[in-house]
Amino acid sequence: MLNGNTKIIAHVGYPTTTFKSPMIYNPWFEKRGINAAVVPLGVRSEDFARAFPEICRFTNFHGALITMPHKIAVIGLIDEVSTAVKVAGSCNAVRRNAEGRLVGDMFDGEGFVRGMARHGRSLKGKKVLVVGSGGVGSAIAASSAAAGAAEIGLYDVSAAAMEALAPTEQNRRPHLAAPIVPMTAPPVASPDQARTWLDAERVVLVAVTAHAAAHGWPGHATRLAATLSRYLVTGGHNTDAVAIHTHALNAARRARDRGAEAAALIDLGEVRWRLGHSWQEAARYEQALLVLRETGDRTGEARAHGNLGLLAWRQGEYVQASGHYEQALAIFRDIGARAGEARALDNLGAICWRQGRYEEAAIYHRRALAVFRELGDRSGQSCALANLATVCRKQGLLEHAVHHLEQSLSLSREVGDQACEAEALCDLGEVRGQQRHYQQAADDYEQALTLFRRIGHQASQAQALNGMGNLMLATGQPGQARAQHGLALDLATRIGDKYQQGAAHDGLAHAHKAGRDLSRAHHHWRQALALYTDLDVPEASEVLRQLALLGEFDHGYPALASR
């Protein structure tokens, strides 16, 4: 019987219709007087990176059973893993220990081996063929090796997956047989083919990185992670990116390779920034920056400055952010890294328009765009065009903004850059809302939010929610507007994004004013004013004007003078 002392074990996967564990464990718990319950929770892949950490925060959460499609993705979201998880590269059980740390284990392979033994079949000295090299297949192969299999063959639908997986198994416990089908090179003659192949084999590559990191090939793990980094970022595969870069970081630390450790910290930090974990990263970047300087890794040093700039940007420290971007720009120019130079120029432009220096911002973004075009970097072009559109929007040039954003959207979709695609859609929603094309704006925001949630970009979600709130108010729905801005405020506060906090308070104030709740409107505008003034952004002047107007018709609140 459930009560306030019941320990909850979440059974997380999708779909839940096939779940059998609650029917197995709950009667067993009840029969033995154990006050625990397995509860099925349906979580889609695009929501898992955001939902699982929240589930683990419940005070009566005891652990979780993890099933498809999350067995590999969960590794990057927990604190410790067992040897079985390290070998298999997948995890199907998580327990919260006495210290509050999340510890993962994998039972699929051991369950298979014990099931065979129960039926009188020993794997010792046998040849074993495992068909399918995903999470379960990898676990079965690992447990078969531990059970003494003489030879293991791995067969996957793609010969390229076998080529990626097999090298990590060479010279280890059992001998790997040659592939059943002839080995052929993956079809990667064009960027589209390469992306298609990487998408199809990403699960295998995560498992390969995990195995290499855990079994004495730290160089393989760190190089594979670095090679995949850009693909993972532009594709929005943040959960897999966290897993791969965490494996690379652990491998570098075991090998005491400080340079590789610093590089892995930079890659991991960039992904965690996108997922909203910015407050935790600054000290790691500073540490990495020192190491990269010592080892003479100038590219890594410039990237560290870039990531420190991102953190300062989110926290509203624009002068500090600008300093880091300028140092990154100088290093990239010195070493002739043109793509890095363009990204630094683009980031400097974003600081300028956030502070109201629109002409200067446009110069930076046009320079970045020219370099990206020279290099044929379509993803970079997409981002620069979206930033240039923001400058146009803030200057009131809405048609120019739409033109730039439509180009940005087309480019981002061509190259599969989901982050830039979502940003372009979000910005289009804002522009079309200002043009009073409300249905188009709503569609843009909905698509943007769907993408942001799928890839886990929390700061951008806050921006889109604020935009939806403004749109709800413009269409006469103040209650819905308050709900959207409230969600944005919670999210922006959690990740430390002061600008979006200010925007949420401003939106809530307008929504409360529309509902004639002037007391709450005044409260939220005062909060917005404090944030915007601290950030030194032009939005503070408009909030002051609204407070002055509020004072004119509500004599309980005098108008405020500008600071």
110-187 adopts what CATH topology? Rossmann fold (3.40.50)
Q: Which two tokens stand for residue 523?
A: 């409260």
CATH class of 457-563: mainly alpha
- Euclidean distance between CA atoms 160 and 296, whole angstroms: 36
pLDDT by residue for the chain (563 residues), tens digit each? 788 899 999 999 888 887 888 999 999 999 999 999 999 999 988 789 889 999 999 999 999 999 877 887 898 899 998 877 876 677 889 999 989 999 999 888 888 889 888 888 888 888 887 765 556 677 787 788 878 888 776 654 333 432 333 232 332 223 333 443 333 445 555 667 777 878 888 887 888 888 888 877 788 788 888 888 878 887 888 888 889 999 999 988 888 888 888 888 888 888 887 777 655 566 777 888 888 888 888 988 998 899 889 888 878 889 999 999 999 999 999 999 898 999 999 999 999 999 999 999 999 999 999 999 998 888 899 999 999 999 999 999 999 999 999 999 999 998 888 889 999 999 999 999 999 999 999 999 999 999 998 888 877 899 999 999 999 999 999 999 999 999 999 999 988 888 999 999 999 999 999 999 999 999 999 999 999 999 889 899 999 999 988 874 444 444 433 32
Cα distances (Å, whole numbers) of residue 544 to 352, 492, 503, 505 = 22, 22, 14, 13
Please answer whether residues 531 and 543 qualify as being in contact, where contact means their C-beta atoms are separated by less than 8 angstroms. no
Question: Measured between alpha carbons, how far is 560 from 552 in angstroms, rounded to an integer?
Answer: 11
Q: Which residues belong to the active site?
A: 71
Closest CA to 76 of 96, 100, 102: 102
Q: Give the Cα separation of 143 and 184 in Å (integer).
A: 28
Residue 60: how many CB atoms within 10 A of its CB? 11
Alpha-carbon distance of 95 to 63, in angstroms, equals: 4
DSSP string for residues in 217-281: -HHHHHHHHHHHHHHHHHTT-HHHHHHHHHHHHHHHHHTT-HHHHHHHHHHHHHHHHHTT-GGGT
Contact 37, 26 (CB under 8 A): yes
Residues whose CB is less than 8 angstroms from the CB of residue 58 and which lie 6 or more positions away in sequence, other chains included: 8
Amino acid found at 375? L
Q: Which helix (H) or strand (E) holds 95?
A: strand 93-96
pLDDT per residue over 504-535, tens digit each? 999 999 999 999 999 999 999 999 999 999 98
Quote the pLDDT of residue 421.
94
Q: Report pLDDT digits (tens) over 465-509.
A: 999 999 999 999 999 999 999 999 999 998 888 899 999 999 999
Spatial distance between the Cα atoms of 335 and 331, rounded to a whole number of angstroms? 6
- Tell which residue, 81, 70, 49, has the closest CA to residue 211: 81
Round to whole Å and give the CA distance between 17 and 303: 46
Residue 27 CA from chain centroid, whole number: 38
Query: Looking at residue 188, what is its pLDDT?
Result: 52
Instruction: Please give the pLDDT value at position 361.
Output: 95
Q: How far apart are CA 120 and CA 137, in angstroms?
A: 22
Q: On the CB side of 146, how many CA atoms lie within 13 Å of its CA? A: 16
Cis amide leading into 182 (omega within 30)? no
- Is 504 exposed, middle or buried (CB count within 10 Å of its CB: 0-12, 13-18, 19+)? buried
What distance in Å separates the CA atoms of residue 237 and residue 396, rounded to the nearest whole number?
35
Superfamily of domain 7-105, CATH level 4: Leucine Dehydrogenase, chain A, domain 1 (3.40.50.10860)
With contact defined as beta carbons under 8 Å apart, do 95 and 63 qualify? yes
Q: What is the pLDDT of residue 215?
A: 77
Question: Distance (Å, rounded) from C-alpha 491 to C-alpha 501?
Answer: 9
One fold for both 7-105 and 457-563?
no
490 CB-near residues (< 8 Å, 6+ apart):
none
Residue 399, token pair as written in the block: 């048609």
Task: Report yes or no: 486 and 498 within 8 Å, Cβ to Cβ.
Answer: no
Q: Are 8 and 39 in contact (CB under 8 A)?
A: yes
Beta-bridge partner residues of 38: 9
DSSP E strands in 253-410: the ranges are: none
* pLDDT given at position 261: 87
Quote the pLDDT of residue 423: 93
Q: Is the pTM of this model over 0.75?
A: no
Instruction: Report domain extents, the chain.
Output: 7-105, 110-187, 457-563
Residue 187's pLDDT is 57
Torsion of CA 549, 550, 552, 555, to 10 degrees: -160
Whether residue 132 contacts residue 90, with contact meaning beta carbons closer than 8 Å, is answered with no
